């Protein structure tokens, strides 16, 4: 058969499939057989074996996950479909999570066809910027422009580049806006604030020549703030120039807080900066000095007026006072904090330490007593101070035995989620699962978590139980999957298995297919470059991403990298955990400069919030896993003193 005829025949078969999918055929075979049939159908579809796919699909009538095969077919044939076919499909599967994505694909097809009237009929006012801008274009093409300028404004006034599909709408917006220059400047200012100088420069081309020069000056101030500040000392005192100077101070402070302070002291009295600009500049310099561990940071933060003290200013002043063992100052700072900070376990713990150092032992002990009842990082620190056993007592989230069939009987989303999970369609499974939770009461959510755990779907079980107040079902929250592999690599690499599990839980919640937004893969979330370097050191073949996602490989590579950072920092667990998260170079920069310091103080003053929380979590989680392994290890035993050099 000629290729053209074959393609035409295939397209005809695809278009004819939807009515056949609606046929009713009794389900056959066990659940395992149906899952295999599902895989067989997916395999057939991948190879364009439409007749075979259609036959297997008919055999799967009544199987919960069957609609996902129909969705797969929809995606393959959407380019050839007619509006009435899509309308029928979306109506039939309106309650399925994939309906949202199916509609989005169809909208893209309609845009490519230039079928703007149908586009507006199908557009569901979603927030997707590309599709929303296509809706703007559809209205322009069909003459439906009433109120359009106001609607485009919400997309225009963003400090980030927007999809090219927005260009026609933006052109219309600027042509019909009463003050195009004003709204262009508004977006330019937002772009600089969002650190998108190239966008700001691009937008500047829409302004007159004089304003373009101002944008170029701002651009240079963003790129080379120190050089620009020297030149800006002689400019006129205008609103724009003050904004540029404040921006340059902010940019320079992020690189060198003390140089920024020097320029600010020279320029502050020469220009009529607004109170807001003064507050923001002084706070940025002070906070950057704190992040950079400059000795001047404490004075700079203390000199901020009360109106400038936001959460970060309070937190970093407290951390600097911690490093300096300024217990009296720390007590004052904590007592000045807004209630939502003051009441956090973190600052209740350090307030108790400050009170102890100031001789107020009764008040200090009272705070520690309250904290020591909690199964958390600060709870374990408090318990160690009091020499008290940890409160890690298993309490089942639900005492009822769950009849899986009965529980799932009237919960179609959850039933589909189970099947999709066992079919390894994890993205679809999670969408169904968390849609199902919307319809459950509090007790049913706990039962659902228990059920997910029984399927070894640990990440969903952990996320589900987190939606309840229940925190003491440690078997749900801290499972120990892949135990044989973990213990084997712990022995071979002389690693603490509790530490491996602590890292694994924090990294991936035990999802073997986890992928982070930056590309980290698998249980212990290895970046491909890191995995390749570790594999090379082990004499392994260069791994592909699919190789890194294999559980055995991932645990082998992840534990080897953990061993590497443990070696780099002389088996100091806090430093190794920080290095696993943020890299060894950052950890070296954060080491104390002169004298050694306690690990709890060092962890508290790590500049990156993500890494600070990460280390605390790994230490606390390792302590919980100790209990599961039948060990009573003090968390403080993993918190060796931090030296200036390693």
Residues marked as catalytic? 507
Helices (H) and strands (E) in the chain, counts: 40, 0
Instruction: Give the span between the Cα atoms of 390 and 620, in whole angstroms.
Output: 11
Q: Indicate the helix (H) or strand (E) that contains 355.
A: helix 345-357
Instruction: Give the span between the Cα atoms of 37 and 56, in whole angstroms.
Output: 7
List, as one string, the DSSP characters of 511-547. -TT-B-TT--BTTTTB-HHHHHHHHHHTTPPPPPHHH
Dihedral of CA atoms 444, 449, 451, 455 in degrees, nearest 10, equals 160
Instruction: Give the span between the Cα atoms of 632 and 627, in whole angstroms.
Output: 6
Instruction: Give the span between the Cα atoms of 634 and 620, in whole angstroms.
Output: 10
CA angle 574, 580, 584 (to 5 degrees): 85
Closest Cα to residue 556, out of 517, 529, 579, 522?
522
Instruction: Give the span between the Cα atoms of 468 and 496, in whole angstroms.
Output: 31
How many CB atoms lie under 10 A from the CB of residue 239? 9
Tokens, residue 116: 């703007």
- Angle, helix 361-372 to helix 345-357, in steps of 10 degrees: 150
- Angle, helix 31-46 to helix 66-77, in steps of 10 degrees: 10
| Residue 440: Cβ-neighbour burial (10 angstroms; 0-12, 13-18, 19+) | middle
Is there a contact between 174 and 204 (Cβ–Cβ < 8 Å)? Answer: no
Closest Cα to residue 438, out of 418, 404, 414, 402?
414
């Amino acid at each position: 058969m000629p290729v053209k005829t074959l393609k035409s025949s295939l397209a005809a078969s695809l278009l004819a499939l939807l009515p056949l999918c609606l046929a009713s055929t009794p389900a056959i075979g066990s659940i395992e057989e149906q899952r295999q049939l599902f895989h067989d159908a997916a395999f057939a579809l991948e190879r364009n074996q439409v007749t075979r796919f259609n036959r297997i699909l008919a055999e799967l009538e009544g199987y919960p996950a069957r609609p996902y095969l129909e969705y797969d077919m929809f995606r393959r044939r959407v380019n050839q479909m007619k509006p009435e076919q899509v309308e029928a499909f979306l109506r039939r599967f309106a309650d399925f999570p994939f309906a949202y994505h199916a509609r989005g694909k169809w909208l893209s097809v309609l845009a490519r066809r230039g079928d703007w009237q149908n586009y507006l009929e199908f557009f569901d006012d979603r927030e997707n910027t590309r599709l929303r801008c296509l809706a703007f274009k559809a209205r322009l093409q069909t003459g439906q422009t009433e109120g359009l300028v106001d609607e485009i404004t919400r997309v225009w006034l963003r400090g980030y580049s927007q999809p090219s599909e927005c260009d026609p709408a933006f052109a219309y917006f600027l042509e019909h806006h009463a003050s195009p220059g004003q709204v262009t400047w508004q977006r330019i200012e937002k772009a600089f604030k969002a650190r998108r100088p190239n966008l700001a420069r691009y937008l500047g081309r829409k302004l007159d020549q004089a304003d373009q020069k101002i944008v170029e000056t701002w651009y240079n101030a963003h790129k080379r703030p120190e050089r620009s500040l020297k030149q800006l000392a002689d400019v006129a005192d205008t609103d724009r120039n003050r904004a540029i100077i404040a921006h340059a101070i902010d940019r320079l402070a992020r690189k060198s807080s003390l140089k920024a302070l020097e320029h600010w002291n020279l320029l502050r009295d020469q220009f009529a900066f607004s109170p807001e600009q003064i507050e923001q500049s002084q706070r940025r310099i002070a906070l950057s000095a704190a992040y950079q561990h400059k000795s001047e940071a404490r004075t700079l933060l203390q000199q901020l007026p009360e109106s400038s003290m936001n959460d970060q200013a309070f937190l970093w002043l407290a951390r600097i006072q911690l490093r300096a063992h300024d217990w009296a100052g720390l007590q004052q700072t904590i007592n000045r904090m807004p209630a939502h900070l003051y009441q956090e376990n973190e600052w209740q713990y350090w307030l108790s330490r400050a009170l102890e150092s100031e001789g107020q032992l009764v008040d200090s002990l009272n705070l520690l007593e309250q904290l020591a009842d909690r199964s958390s990082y600060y709870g374990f620190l408090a318990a160690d101070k009091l020499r008290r056993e940890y409160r890690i007592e298993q309490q089942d989230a639900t005492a009822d035995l769950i009849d899986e069939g009965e529980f799932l009987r009237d919960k179609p989303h959850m039933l589909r989620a189970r099947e999709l999970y066992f079919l390894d369609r994890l993205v679809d499974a999670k969408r169904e699962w968390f849609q199902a939770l919307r319809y459950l009461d509090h007790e049913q959510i706990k039962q659902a978590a228990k059920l997910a755990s029984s399927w070894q779907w640990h990440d969903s079980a952990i996320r589900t139980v987190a939606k309840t107040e229940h925190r003491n079902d440690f078997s749900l929250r801290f499972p120990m999957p892949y135990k044989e592999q973990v213990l084997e690599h712990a022995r071979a690499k002389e690693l603490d298995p509790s530490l491996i599990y602590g890292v694994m839980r924090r990294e991936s919640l035990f999802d073997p297919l986890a992928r982070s937004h930056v590309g980290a893969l698998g249980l212990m979330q290895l970046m491909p470059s890191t995995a390749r370097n570790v594999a090379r050191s082990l004499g392994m073949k260069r791994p592909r991403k699919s190789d890194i996602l294999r559980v055995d490989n991932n645990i082998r590579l992840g534990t080897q990298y953990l061993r590497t950072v443990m070696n780099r920092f002389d088996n100091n667990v806090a430093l190794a955990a920080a290095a696993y998260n943020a890299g060894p170079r950052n950890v070296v920069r954060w080491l104390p400069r002169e004298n050694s310091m306690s690990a709890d103080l060092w962890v508290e003053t790590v500049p990156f919030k993500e890494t600070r929380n990460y280390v605390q979590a790994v230490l606390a989680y390792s302590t919980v896993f100790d209990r599961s392994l039948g060990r009573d290890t003090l968390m403080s035993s993993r918190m060796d003193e931090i030296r200036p050099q390693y």
